[in-house]
Structure 1
Amino acid sequence: MNFCRSLGPASPCLSAFAAGQAAAFKMFETINRKPEIDAYDTKGKVLNDFRGDIELRDVYFTYPARPDEEIFSGFSLYIPSGMTAALVGQSGSGKSTVISLIERFYDPQAGEVLIDGINLKEFQLKWIRQKIGLVSQEPVLFTSSIKDNIMYGKDDASMDDIRVAVELANAAKFIDELPQGMDTMVGEHGTQLSGGQKQRIAIARAVLKDPRILLLDEATSALDAESERVVQEALDQIMVNRTTVIVAHRLSTVRNADMIAVLHQGKIVEKGRFTKQPILVHI
């Protein structure tokens, strides 16, 4: 350091030290930060009898990065155990925000998110997330084998468990056709697989949890028609006897839902179920 000072205040050596000091400050600030929603906190409720009723009750919410833009202002929604509910509406209406609140990626500023009548904040976060399966529009795959990517859903899963999940996800056929089968490397971000294959791997990972609640956030919107058909067949299999929340734009994704809720500017403006006519039957 003394040598750097001897070179003068404009030396590249001093600039490198200053940049390193600034980077270290940010790094230690991040390490020492205490998150409001701590996934590693072992305190909280764990239920023996978990049904999967979902209720958002009089919820007020804004994203931390956009505090002046209110998403929900007294939003309420009830989804009984075992029901498939579809949320539709234009972009920015609050559909994906419902998913984020149920997963407890965020907490509402006011109101409650309830699971089986208990405030989500009272549950042990790691435990409740194990009861929830999430399949999003862009599946996150890691640079490892297909088997390892599926096992992120359940670390202690046996090969029999994995095989059942793969069958339910309609992924067994294409995996068996690969030269290394389950041990095939997916590449960085799954680049060695097609969109439909990546999505079915993500579905298998969600199914491996055997979740009581299943969240599908635009799970087929990025796929072509043939891939969508195959993935939708897989989703139809795993939605049986689970509380399912679907966020979608395509009619083919939501037509079998027990309830369709139309969202507009953070409010439910219409609710019903699909009929052959282009209208909703109100329920």
Structure 2
Amino acid sequence: MVQETLLRAWRAADRYDPRRASLRTWLHRIATNVCLTALEGRSRRPLPSGLGPAGDDPQAPLTPSTDIPWLQPFPDARLGDPADAVAQRAGLRLAFVAALQTLPARQRAALVLREVLQLSAAEVAETLDTTVASVNSSLQRARAALRVAAPALDTVREPSDAGERAVVERYLTAFEAADVPGLTRLLADDVALEMPPVPLWLAGRAHYARFMERVYAMRGPDWHLRHVRANGGHALAAYVPDPLTGVLHAHSLQVFEIADGLIRRNVTFADPALFDLFALPATTTGPWPPGPVRWSRPARPA
């Protein structure tokens, strides 16, 4: 979509009139039209919790649904200039992005342009080729829908590096030690565990703990994890050893939602192909050393 936007802008450059719109508004209008065209007839990309109620059996078969275009994690390292990254992270929160996709495309566009990109109502109206009154009406309907589906955008705050990172560090330590009681103490009572592309999802500490016992029984206790930043928050890349060679293989990316010092949601993307997005190796021959190394941000992909 970015490539198509730039191509259209280049082809129309001789028709751009700075007296009618700023360059920023003009480019946003082209990009919005490109995206609206691409979204025509396309289904939204859900998480398992958007498809049905939580399961009640942590031992249920883990059957992937490969026909569903699942929502995927986005590496914070690809946000560009670190000075701009902080301002963009709120709009990347996984819960917000998933809820955003419940909206019709034009309502979604109005909300993103107005509240994430901070365009004025007049600029949004020009971008969408409509009126300010229509934009305000779309925003009102979009906000009402999101109040049901997700937290308001202004409550999706920048994560506290001191508090939330400490929670994830303790989770990492407990996970690598196969310490299920230790993991459970870090969870909110109503914690949700999602595992796309498996449509099953679980809610509550007890189900989470029973599922983790199942994970260690199936895969063994010798997991190795590394911190990454995804969707504007903290995440862990999980590697599991081959029982014969000991080589660590990419397994899943766990993206967390943390509030009040507890993990409220863990979306575990069980797709090793996603590791390439985060410039992480598919295999490695040994664990990372403790300390800052495993918490450093990976190099931005070329």
TM range (shorter): under 0.3
TM superposition score normalised by structure 2: 0.24
Higher strand share: 1
Higher helix share: 2
TM superposition score normalised by structure 1: 0.25
